[in-house]
């Protein structure tokens, strides 16, 4: 498989600015604009940069607070050896080339490259002199200048590289050239806010939030900076918006932000946890359209994965192993202890199903989700074999990702296949199709090896009871059943949930960033706010392990790997709202001491709901549920609370409140439900260690 590589660099040089002072660099999450400002002598310079989805360009604006002060050179450069720059007319610079043969040193292979590329930089200055030559752009004595960058390759799809990058750049630049900077910025900010402002989270803020981000990170674990958790959450949403929009590739191991020709793990899509984790915040974080590129990639791997299913296994359907790339590789890869793992595609099918669970969109289910899910299920109909000892159907040869060697019957495979079959069964029923196939899946599903509890009281990772309680491996594969799946849940399978907890506790606090992020989600599902918060604190601010770089990029600890940014964001959401195993849980894993007062608006829950919550001094004060679909659902209040009244359209609803304080509500699409709580069950109020201002 081929690495994801950087395109090139835009290099700006400002003569005389070496001794700048009052330097400040910021990213405003609410507008999606990054700003650099500094002073040279008595002039303040300000640079704004944003990447615009509506105009498909990167825009740089350079300005000064005194006239005629903007002078700089701009060059385009590429790490690909076959690139060169040429002036295009009086206001554009082009960087053109073809990818060279690529020597992949680590695995000693040479790839022939097939892609051509072109980038175009459009320059416009207010006043001063502008000169564009083949070497670059020279601006002298302007009041301000705008640079607009477009870039394209000849890639159209994994089967078609006949694209014309020059024509694509022309078209994009022509449209952008007609718009002054202000209009480009407005269009970008409007597009950005349309998505970003859907969720508002406030966990309170303290003096610490006035400090620069790099100074806040190491102190997070000590407490007293709840706003940094909000920043982590919203930065995660921002990163997903910035790396995965309709029409783009999905976010890879580094999102899109890789600067190396030979990046770590080729900056691909590793699908035994990393790619899935990237998309955990998509639905709950109210960014469902950002999930789209993953579904587009699934359509491709169905095509390449059919061949792999045939050639490697003589099976029908499609299969995707450990990872994939731009060319949609699906075959076994690397080494047998991780590369021969046939359930990567099946896990990704869960994302199609989740999109349906959150939205209830039957059109999507019929057209996009079910066909992919069905064919993935077909593969396992052929692939599963009967275990001669137990008679159960098992998966193999396979592995529990990245440890334990090539085995038969790892637990994670069975959990994933059980979910896959369940979604195929339910979808075919909802859509009223494929009755015979459904019946076959129902029968096979019953025979798949079950989740087993082993001699240490643990959830067995393997078919045999051979787990080592001292195994601190980074992967938490068999806990897939607890999160992201709800096959194991406190309310429905209490004994398995207790066993899963044991396995999770055995693993320790997790040696890598994404592992900690997963643990936040897992402890949240177990209703343990304290440990969920502990893992979040270690993820954000554990100086010993450095899971976060200065600017909030997640670190594995090395190198930068984006999954933990997304997994941590999903974990924070999961602590605030749960929607699985047949109920909506409000503040299910609430660290009351760390976050005594706050509110959240706009989180989405399965079943077409949008959730707003507020709490104060350790007590939930209100919950508002906006229903997008009809149907009943149990609502679970925060621990120690009891639902006391439900109002809809100003009128009290007769809701039956059960012994445990939960209530079943009959939702109607388009209606808004307001919940009140009483504190009959409330323990003595818990007040934060750190006094928070109102």
Distance from C-alpha of 504 to C-alpha of 527, rounded to nearest angstrom: 14
Residue 183 · residue 191 · CB < 8 Å = no
Q: How far apart are CA 417 and CA 616, in angstroms?
A: 43
| 339-343 LR contacts (CB < 8 Å, sep 24+) | 340/397, 340/398, 340/399, 340/406, 341/272, 341/398, 341/399, 341/401, 341/413, 342/313, 342/379, 342/383, 342/395, 342/398, 342/413, 343/395, 343/398, 343/412, 343/413, 343/416, 343/417
User: In this structure, are residues 478 and 466 in contact, taking their beta carbons and an 8 Å threshold?
Assistant: no
On the CB side of 644, how many CA atoms lie within 13 Å of its CA? 12
Decide: is 278 part of the binding site for ligand FUC (CB under 6 A).
no
Of 615, 574, 612, 611, the residue nearest 592 (C-alpha): 615
512 binds ligand FUC (CB under 6 A): yes
665-681 core/surface letters (b: 16 or more CB in 10 A; e: else): bebeeeeebbbbbeeee
**Residue 220 CB, nearest distance to ligand FUC (Å)?**
22
If the CB atoms of residues 306 and 322 are measured against ligand FUC, the closer one turns out to be: 322
Q: Which residue lies nearer to ligand FUC by CB, 163 or 511? A: 511
The SS3 assignment for 430 reads: helix
Q: State the Cα–Cα distance between residues 80 and 98, nearest whole angstrom.
A: 8
- Only segment of 51-59, 137-145, 264-272, 639-647 that touches ligand FUC (CB under 6 A): 264-272
Q: Contact region for ligand FUC (CB under 6 A) — 270-278, 339-347, 356-364, 461-469? A: 270-278
Binding status of residue 320 toward ligand FUC by CB under 6 A: no
Angstrom distance (rounded) from CA 95 to CA 110: 25
Specify the stretch interacting with ligand FUC by CB under 6 A; choose among 144-152, 268-276, 631-639, 655-663: 268-276
Distance from C-alpha of 507 to C-alpha of 330, rounded to nearest angstrom = 30
Cβ neighbours of residue 680 closer than 8 Å, sequence gap 6 or more: 642
Q: What is the closest distance, in whole angstroms, from the C-beta atom of residue 232 to ligand FUC in the complex?
A: 19
Cβ proximity to ligand FUC: between 146 and 547 the closer is 547
Angle 643-645-648 (CA atoms, 0-180°, nearest 5)?
A: 120
Say how many residues make up the chain: 694
Of residues 217 and 562, the one with the C-beta less far from ligand FUC = 562
Cβ closer to ligand FUC: 272 or 398?
Answer: 272
Q: Does 426 bind ligand FUC (CB under 6 A)?
A: no
Nearer to ligand FUC, 265 or 313 (CB): 265
630 interacts with ligand FUC by CB under 6 A: no
Does position 253 bind ligand FUC by CB under 6 A? yes
**Shortest Cβ 293–ligand FUC spacing (Å):** 19
**Is residue 527 within 8 Å of 481, Cβ to Cβ?**
no
By CB under 6 A, which span of 267-275, 361-369, 386-394, 545-553 interacts with ligand FUC? 267-275
Residue 270 interacting with ligand FUC (CB under 6 A): yes
Considering only residues 373 to 402 of the shown chain, the ones binding ligand FUC according to CB under 6 A are: 402
Considering only residues 123 to 152 of the shown chain, the ones binding ligand FUC according to CB under 6 A are none
Site residues for ligand FUC, 474-503, by CB under 6 A, read 474
Exposed e or buried b per residue across 587-609, where buried means at least 16 C-beta atoms within 10 angstroms of its C-beta = bbbbbbbbbbbbbbbebbbbbbb
Site mask, ligand FUC, residues 442-481, x = CB under 6 A?
Answer: --------------------------------x-------
Among 274, 308, 451, 662, binds ligand FUC (CB under 6 A): 274
Q: Closer to ligand FUC at the Cβ: 118 or 563?
A: 563
Q: Kindly state the smallest distance separating residue 284's Cβ from ligand FUC, in Å.
A: 23
Site residues (CB under 6 A) for ligand FUC, limited to 164-203: none
Q: Which is nearer to ligand FUC, 407 or 594 (CB)?
A: 407
Stretch 548-577: interaction string toward ligand FUC, x if CB under 6 A: --------x----x----------------
Are the C-beta atoms of residues 521 and 484 closer than 8 Å to each other?
Answer: yes
Tell me whether residue 395 or residue 400 sits nearer to ligand FUC (CB atom): 400
Among 7, 102, 265, 681, binds ligand FUC (CB under 6 A): 265
Do residues 627 and 667 lie in contact, with contact meaning Cβ atoms separated by under 8 Å? yes
**For ligand FUC, which is the closer residue by CB, 216 or 268?**
268
Residue 272 in contact with ligand FUC, rule: CB under 6 A? yes
Please list, in sequence order, all residues whose beta carbon lies within 8 angstroms of the beta carbon of residue 620, skipping any fewer than 6 positions away.
Answer: 586, 587, 613, 614, 637, 638, 641, 677
Catalog residues that contact ligand FUC under the rule CB under 6 A: 253, 265, 270, 272, 274, 402, 474, 512, 556, 561
């Amino acid at each position: 498989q081929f690495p994801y590589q950087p395109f090139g660099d835009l290099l700006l040089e400002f003569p005389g600015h070496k001794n700048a002072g009052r330097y400040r660099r910021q990213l405003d999450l609410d507008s999606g604009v990054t700003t650099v400002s500094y002073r040279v002598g008595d002039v303040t310079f300000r640079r704004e940069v944003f990447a615009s989805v509506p105009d498909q360009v990167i825009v740089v604006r350079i300005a000064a607070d005194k006239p005629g002060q903007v002078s700089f050179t701009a060059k385009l450069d590429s790490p690909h050896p076959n690139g060169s720059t040429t002036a295009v007319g009086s206001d554009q610079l082009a960087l053109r080339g073809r990818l060279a043969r690529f020597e992949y040193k680590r695995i000693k292979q040479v790839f022939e490259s097939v892609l051509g590329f072109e980038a175009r930089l459009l320059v416009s200055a207010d006043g001063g002199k502008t000169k564009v030559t083949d070497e670059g752009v020279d601006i002298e004595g302007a009041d301000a200048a705008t640079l607009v960058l477009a870039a394209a390759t000849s890639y159209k799809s994994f089967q078609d590289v006949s694209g014309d990058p020059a024509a694509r750049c022309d078209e994009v630049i022509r449209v952008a050239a007609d718009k002054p900077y202000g209009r480009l910025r407005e269009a970008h900010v409007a597009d950005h806010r349309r998505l970003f402002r859907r969720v508002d989270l406030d966990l309170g803020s303290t003096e610490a939030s006035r400090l620069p981000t790099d100074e806040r990170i190491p102190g997070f674990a000590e407490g007293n900076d709840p706003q940094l958790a909000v920043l982590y959450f919203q930065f995660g949403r921002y990163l997903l918006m910035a790396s995965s929009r309709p029409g783009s590739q999905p976010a890879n191991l580094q999102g899109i932000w890789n600067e190396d020709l030979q990046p770590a793990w080729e900056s691909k899509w590793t699908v035994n946890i990393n790619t899935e984790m990237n998309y955990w915040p998509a639905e709950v974080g109210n960014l469902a359209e950002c999930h789209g590129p993953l579904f587009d990639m699934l359509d491709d791997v169905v095509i390449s994965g059919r061949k792999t299913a045939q050639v490697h296994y003589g099976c029908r359907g499609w299969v995707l192993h450990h990872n994939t790339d731009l060319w949609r590789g699906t075959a076994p890869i690397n080494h047998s202890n991780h590369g021969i793992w046939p359930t990567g595609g099946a896990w990704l099918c869960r994302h199609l199903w989740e999109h349906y669970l959150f939205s209830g969109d039957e059109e999507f289910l019929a057209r996009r989700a079910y066909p992919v899910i069905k064919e993935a299920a077909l593969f396992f109909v052929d692939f599963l074999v009967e275990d001669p000892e137990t008679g159960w159907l098992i998966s193999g040869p396979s592995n529990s990702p990245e440890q334990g060697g090539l085995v038969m019957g790892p637990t994670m495979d069975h959990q994933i296949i059980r979910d896959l079959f369940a979604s195929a069964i339910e979808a075919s029923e909802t859509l009223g199709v494929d009755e015979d196939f459904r019946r076959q899946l129902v029968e096979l599903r019953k025979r798949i090896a079950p989740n087993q509890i082993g001699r240490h009281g643990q959830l067995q990772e393997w078919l045999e009871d051979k787990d080592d309680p001292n195994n601190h491996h980074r992967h938490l594969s068999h806990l897939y059943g607890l999160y992201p799946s709800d096959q194991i849940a406190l309310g429905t399978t209490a004994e398995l949930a207790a066993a899963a907890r044991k396995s999770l506790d055995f693993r320790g606090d997790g040696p890598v960033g994404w592992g900690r992020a997963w643990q936040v989600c897992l402890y949240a599902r177990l209703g343990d706010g304290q440990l969920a918060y502990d893992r979040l604190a270690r993820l954000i601010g554990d100086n010993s392990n450095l899971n976060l770089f200065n600017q909030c990029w997640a670190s594995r600890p090395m190198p930068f790997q984006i999954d933990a940014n997304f997994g941590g964001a999903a974990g924070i959401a999961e602590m605030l709202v749960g929607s699985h195993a047949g109920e909506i849980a409000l503040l299910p894993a609430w660290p009351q001491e760390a976050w005594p007062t706050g509110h959240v608006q706009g989180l989405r829950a399965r079943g077409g709901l949008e959730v707003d919550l507020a709490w104060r001094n350790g007590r939930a004060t209100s919950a508002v549920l906006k229903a997008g679909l009809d149907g009943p659902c149990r609502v679970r209040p925060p621990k120690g609370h009891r639902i006391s009244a439900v109002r809809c359209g100003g009128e009290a609803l007769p809701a039956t409140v059960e012994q445990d304080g939960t209530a079943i509500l009959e939702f109607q699409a388009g209606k808004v439900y307001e919940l009140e709580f009483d504190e009959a069950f409330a323990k003595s109020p818990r007040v934060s260690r750190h006094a928070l201002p109102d």
